[in-house]
Amino acid sequence: MSVEVSRLENGLHVVTHTMPHLETVALGIWVKAGARDELPEENGIAHFLEHMAFKGTKRRTAQGIAEEIESAGGEINAATGMETTTYYARVLKNDWQLALDILSDIFLNSTLDENELERERDVILQEIAAAKDQPDDLVFDLAQSACYGDHPLGRSILGPASLIETMTRDQMTAWRDRNYWASRIVVCAAGNIDHKAFARETAKHFGHLGQGHGPQRHSPVFSAGAATEQKPLDQTHIVLNFSAPNYRDPRIYQMQVLSAILGGGMSSRLFQEVREKRGLCYSVFSYGTSYEDVGQLGVYAATSPEHTSDLIEVTSKVMMSMGEEVTVKEVDRAKAQLKASLVMNLESASSRADQVARQYLAFGSVPEMSTLVERISAVTPEDVKALAHSIFSGKPPSLSAVGQLSALESHNKIAARFKKG
């Protein structure tokens, strides 16, 4: 069946995709509010609040929340992103009402108990410390800073320990009241679900919520900066990022094909040239990150310190080659990967719910699968080559690196490798 949508009087949207062949339902609350919507002194509060949602409500204790969902064989979790926060669950098809009741309760009625807050503060401080101990996590946090500087997109979702240590309940309440409005929310379900019944129950839980307004955001400028951290590691972790289309840009499909050809799998150019032919690293891949008004296309690789110059040289040549020649065979292979990924999402209620909800938050509609396939199919080698040239040629990348940096080329020298020849 196709996607069905209902709009409550307060502007909240209920979206479902019925998959009658499944025995489960994945459902959740997607809010257009995340780390990007924090003030500088609030950095980390969206993530902290998401944690606190599970620490007790007016009707349930923290332990009670976990026991109630798990007694039904279900699972519940949440995630904070730059532009969205998600509270979600997966249950058997007859237990979706229970899951919706629990999700709405933790979302609307969390007490933000002071004792629980202090315990969770310690948990998040441990999470921050753990991220700093993981170089392949740290380098991506540094990459955001290198791309966007002091803009909210340039900050860590977890926030700095110094702010988490002093964050208060009043600050959390103020941020929640400022951002958790009905007009920013999609309540979505996928699986063995009836849309009308789900919409009725959602209205009971969320119908009283104020409509509010959309996020008040300002667009960043891609800064192409550098952010590095010296650490005594056996490998140097490196990320290069370039300014790329945002998710509203019709070239987003071309970028997905470009990224797949460049470093999206074992047949990609980077994997074959950097790892298979030269053995310069174990892990190398490209990735695209798109927000509502900006985007970035990046490459990650990790290698021993003595190989960093060779790695940068080979990687830059491979990236620049994308603007010179792209074959039909490469494009067809990349398009097959992207189409298969779309279809595979239809086999998972959780993946489909997340896909549908995010599409509706971003565009106010959910494109038919056939439409998405057509847009991918329309990408040509000339499209990919032109986009690669516009992204890489003559444009300086941002640089982030973690590890032993003595042999790492300067940011200026790396940028010079991408000058137009």
Taking the whole predicted model, whether its pTM rises above 0.75 is answered as yes
Which pLDDT score is estimated for 215? 80
Q: Residue 347 burial (CB < 10 Å; 0-12/13-18/19+)? A: exposed
Q: Which two tokens stand for residue 180?
A: 């958790």
Superfamily, domain 3-206: Metalloenzyme, LuxS/M16 peptidase-like (3.30.830.10)
Q: Give yes or no for a contact between 144 and 289, defined as CB atoms under 8 angstroms apart.
A: no
Which pLDDT score is estimated for 28? 98
Q: Give yes or no for a contact between 47 and 159, defined as CB atoms under 8 angstroms apart.
A: yes
Domains 3-206 and 226-416 equal at CATH topology level: yes
Which pLDDT score is estimated for 420? 64
Which pLDDT score is estimated for 123? 97
Q: Give yes or no for a contact between 103 and 77, defined as CB atoms under 8 angstroms apart.
A: no
- Domain segments of the chain as ranges: 3-206, 226-416
300 has which bridge partners?
A: 239, 285
Specify the fold of 226-416. Cytochrome Bc1 Complex; Chain A, domain 1 (3.30.830)
Strands 295-303 and 185-191: unpaired
Residues written for the chain: 421
Q: Hunting for tokens 């070239």 — which residue is that?
A: 251
* Amino acid (one-letter) located at 110: S
Catalytic residues: 50
Q: Which two tokens stand for residue 293?
A: 């008004």
C-alpha span between 288 and 255 (Å, rounded): 8
C-alpha span between 309 and 359 (Å, rounded): 40
Strands 226-230 and 398-403: parallel
Residues of the chain with pLDDT under 70: 1, 420-421
Which pLDDT score is estimated for 394? 87
Which pLDDT score is estimated for 347? 87
